[in-house]
Chains A and B, each alone.
Chain A
């Protein structure tokens, strides 16, 4: 008990209590009966039941429910008393929590704003790089395996020369080696080709700009004689198709701008003085 009496927190609480009592006495006429009414609505009960259900995966029975409601009442009483004693002041956790709540609010404020089709269209046109399909190549290949040949590069080159001179149709299956990766690729971008065949091959393939057979390309797997079927340059994605992403990006941009403006606005109403920091 003696130890308890020396506890600064106890002193603090006692003094606070006294101050509060004094304050109450002096401001008697200002007490609003509303401040001392706690009304647990049907909606409140529903909310408590839902929270319980989420935690425990079952509905509370009547005894548990009574206890939950009792706890809610206690929480509300202590919360209000704490507010009256200004215990929310100078508390770092509460300060940060309120800052966070304010930021969430501002965020919702923006996402709830009306979005006009025109704004989105303008944003879409202004940022073409965000809304395009990458350059793709469709090609067929004949593979020359170092597992099966001593001179895969020369063999590939020989076939290339033959194709250039004769130009007759070549049956792909008969000319190359088994590979068990696809022989035909349709509309692949550079990243996809890299993941499949490695960097060396992807870099060389995306250097090619002409349709038809090209000189053999090396990969970690061996040599590949490539016939480019089509090259599609990077293409804009139609607005209607990408509208959802445009909307998200636009909203995000609006939010950033709004936050900046809001903070500027708020800042202008404060005078901020920072004492010089000495090294």
Chain B
């Protein structure tokens, strides 16, 4: 190369540095200019809202735990999967969703985000580290131990300093945001920059005289509305205390960053997620309650590691409470139970009303979503298209149904994933984020069931019969996630509000069994109560003695893993009033919609393997959807 041309290249680069600097400082928004901004309404815009289905909990190889089980796909692959493309999987020849999603967020663990992949790049300094050599070990025991140690360093809040490095954290996060932006198509596919705050306060549990290390799940996914984000995530290495996370989120909001946190797997929190006290055990203050609700309007309640809605011990009279239970804490040795009290939503809803009566604020006034928590850059959302949670650990039917597996996270007890539903005016970041803020959301155990509930004082039977019924439903009342305004003056007394209730099956799935209203309230003596009402059902069943609606039936052929839609209904609806309404008691109402029985994923696996279904597994499940509640609050005069 001639000296002259070297000089030229040098000068042109210097020139560019100068230019680049001025453009950046003159226009602070220059980086967001290239991303699509939905200032105009998209074609499907509807003021009475459309249902959109998505997954706000996906891990890729940039998460330490996905990586250890050989997931090598990236956030880019994850969004492609969400859009319907086929992507690679470590144990099979590829995975693909039958139906694309409407929206999605990749939520890799903030702790050690993007670090693991550096450990296998021979030219990277991390390659030579002891921990990297163990991770790469041919001996699965050594690599599993290394993984355990990394997990424990998160639970114990003692990060490996040599791999917890700022430059990796910041550049990985920058990539996360960039990839989310690149896949955002307003009107068609919405993405959110996001990550998981993996707070897992560690402890030991004594089982049969042995002290077993375990960790309680306090995890939250942190979802940003757009690409205006901080330079790096707030991880559990910054603090394991959710109140500190909320402080940080509040600070972000002051800087104009729109963001929320979504807790999940309360079922694995051993009573910590919905405890009656603050993180340090002190009583809840009104300030704490307001901060929690400001930052956590919705909770993820159903996913691959089970559901967090109800537990048979807490709801002994609920015949459908025993559904996809996964009541353990995190451990790598014997399974350690997670205590139900304080770990399930329905109890929290009751407790929230009682706390409100004492303090004036309800810390558990949140809406619901489901998601997958898949660690294959993809969620296994379909029972008959299942590929497990963790790469090579549970990627094939024989791995999943292995009866010898006694270690933590026995794969056969895991669920197929949940789904997030939102009622939003259009498929954009603005509209979907706003639906989540006002809790107009619902959770399903996988199927795309659509369900609606509106509450108000002025509805009549005819209001549900018009084709455009939702227009007046919004005019005369509030949708799921809302607060019933107090009755008009003069209409005092015991008149119940009316609820417009409607559900329709997944257009590619099973028929519906029934719609239930689940009510929680606080009685005069301050006691929390709950009751389940069957309000609409298929066929000509009648409620028998004891108030019980007969079962819908069962068309599942377990040997063949098939079912048919000869029972159940396409759509169910009703206008319902609470027969036990008491205007002096605060209450809340949400829907549970059940499908007819269908084969569980493990039943499809057993068929594929030609084996009988393991005794400890249900052959069928009744998939379901839960709406966010509508609250009625008295003024406690």
Contacts and interface: CB of A to CB of B under 8 A. Distances in A.
A165 to B, nearest CB: 28
A20 B123 CA distance: 29
B17 interface: yes
B19 A112 contact: yes
B251 interface: yes
B485 to A, nearest CB: 25
A219 B16 CA distance: 58
A92 B508 contact: no
A109 interface: yes
Given A181-B504, A199-B99, A147 B125 contact: no
Given A178-B465, A220-B506, A248-B34, A105 B231 contact: no
Contacts of B255: 57
A278 interface: no
A57 B507 contact: no
Contact of B100 (A145, A173, A191): A191
Contact of B125 (A92, A112, A197): A92
Nearest to B539: A147
Contacts of A219: 507
Interface string A197-229: 111110000000000000000011110000000
Interface in A16-74: 54, 57
B570 A146 contact: yes
B197 to A, nearest CB: 19
B571 A145 contact: yes
B507 A197 contact: yes
Max chain A CB contacts within 10 Å: which of B99, B465, B505? B99
A54 B170 CA distance: 15
A105 B571 contact: no
A239 interface: no
B571 A198 contact: no
A195 B102 CA distance: 9
B19 A192 contact: no
Nearest to B168: A93
Interface string B113-143: 0000000000111000000000000000000
B208 interface: no
Contacts of B19: 108, 112
Interface in B1-51: 1, 12-13, 16-17, 19-20, 23, 34, 43-44
A6 interface: no
A221 B505 contact: yes
B508 A147 contact: no
Contacts of B465: 178
A187 interface: yes
Contacts of A179: 467, 571
Q: Shortest 9 CB-CB distances between A and B: which pairs?
A: A198-B507, A220-B507, A198-B508, A269-B1, A108-B20, A147-B569, A92-B125, A221-B570, A147-B570
24 contacts: A57-B251, A92-B123, A92-B124, A105-B17, A105-B20, A112-B16, A112-B23, A147-B570, A173-B467, A180-B469, A180-B502, A180-B504, A180-B573, A181-B504, A192-B44, A195-B99, A199-B99, A200-B508, A220-B507, A220-B509, A220-B570, A221-B504, A221-B505, A221-B571
